[in-house]
Amino acid sequence: MLAFLTRRLIYMFFTIVAISMMSFAIIQLPPGDFVTSMVAQLGLQGVSVQSESMEVFRERYGLNDPVYIQYWKWITNIVLHGDFGYSLEWRQPVSQLIWDRLGLTFVLAALTLAFMWMIAIPIGIYSAVRKNSFGDYLVTFLGVIGLAIPNFLFALVLLFIGFRYFDADWGGLFSTEFRNAPWSLARLGDMMLHMILPIIVLGSAGTAALIRILRANLLDELDKPYVETARAYGLGERTLLMRYPVRIALNPLISTVGWVLPTLVSGATITAVVLNLPLTGPLLLNSLLSQDMYLAGSFIMMMSVLTVIGTLLSDLLLAWLDPRIRYT
């Protein structure tokens, strides 16, 4: 197990180095820079900017330096000082902008992932064991509906229901009186209450997908000879089901942590905008539109690193669940 972990950590290190280079290079691909975007926005407002002022601004923030020098300053500050750079649009350190929203995003992501697994695993097992029953058909139908309806549309429908029939504002993560209040038990309770809607919205499509994956894999396992052999030895159906087929069928669900984690942490950007959630997704979208390179690059790198970490967690969980994987 130690050799398996060591190999994965080495792969992880080199992958993160490559990701950091690609993240910084990608945001440099569009023509122009933040100054160009800012001048264009000011031009739409009827404000003209002198070329000399533009050059002073570029020189001040090092935008005239070659790309590799900008990258080296950025990555060394992150590694040595934890400094992700300065947001040109927000006029704030990037780390402050990220950490202000990342905590709430992580809490919502963790709760959504727990919600997805709590719903998907028992329903997927039931659907496979009761194949072609009314319950199986009902679950399959609801799963197709869950996959077909976009999250942002589902969010709009629930917001309309809240306004129309309950005279309530279900958007955001806090009520008006708690939005800028200091943390307390009352504010925490208000946040948890407001998280119910985002959890349902963000988890609906993922839950439907996990149910279908678990059902398909469990049906495949139930037809294998080892199940019949265990049954012939007199092993009870419940014990047989949970000890062998379900354990193996869970592998694909665990392997999805690698992509589910960064997807949830990104805040499902459109849904976060619709629900007015103070998450990282909308901030990333605005930074890309304005070419705020340090903020955008930091977010892209963070999402990529989360993918690598999620993949590592998946590998470790799979190695624990299925010892055969440790030797691959």
Residue 27: Cβ-neighbour burial (10 angstroms; 0-12, 13-18, 19+)? buried
pLDDT at 143: 82
Distance CA 84, CA 280 (A): 15
pTM score, two decimals? 0.74
Q: In the 8-state DSSP scheme, what is residue 168?
A: -
Q: Token digits for 276?
A: 């007015």
Distance CA 324, CA 62 (A): 51
pLDDT at 54: 65
> In this structure, what is the dihedral angle of CA atoms 149, 155, 158, 163, given to the nearest 10 degrees?
-150
Q: Hunting for tokens 């998450």 — which residue is that?
A: 279
Amino acid making up residue 81: H
Q: In the 8-state DSSP scheme, what is residue 93?
A: E
Distance CA 300, CA 303 (A): 5
Q: Decide: 247 and 218 in contact? Cβ < 8 Å.
A: no
Q: Where are the alpha helices (DSSP H) in the chain?
A: 2-26, 34-44, 51-60, 67-81, 94-129, 134-148, 151-165, 185-194, 196-222, 225-232, 237-243, 245-249, 251-255, 257-265, 269-274, 280-289, 293-321
3-state secondary structure 231-259: HHCCCCHHHHHHHCHHHHHCHHHHHCHHH
Q: How many CA atoms lie within 13 A of 159 on its CB side?
A: 18
Residue 91: Cβ-neighbour burial (10 angstroms; 0-12, 13-18, 19+)? exposed
pLDDT at 76: 84
Residue 14: Cβ-neighbour burial (10 angstroms; 0-12, 13-18, 19+)? exposed
Hey, which CATH number is domain 94-327, 1.20.140.10, 1.10.3720.10, 1.10.10.410, 1.10.357.10?
A: 1.10.3720.10
Amino acid making up residue 137: Y
Q: What is the pLDDT along the chain (328 residues), one digit of tens a residue?
A: 677 778 778 888 888 888 888 877 776 766 666 666 666 666 666 666 666 666 666 666 666 777 788 788 778 888 787 777 777 677 777 777 777 777 777 788 778 888 888 898 899 888 888 888 888 888 888 888 877 888 888 888 888 888 887 777 777 778 777 777 787 888 888 888 888 888 888 888 788 888 888 888 888 888 888 888 888 877 777 888 887 888 888 877 777 766 666 666 655 677 787 888 777 778 877 777 777 777 877 877 777 777 787 778 777 777 777 666 655 5
pLDDT at 295: 81
Burial state string for 158-190 with b = 16 or more CB within 10 A and e = fewer than 16: bbeeeeeeeeeebbbbbeeebeeeeeeeebeeb
How is the chain split into domains, by residue range?
31-83, 94-327
Q: Decide: 249 and 214 in contact? Cβ < 8 Å.
A: yes
73 alpha-carbon distance from chain centroid: 28
pLDDT at 60: 63
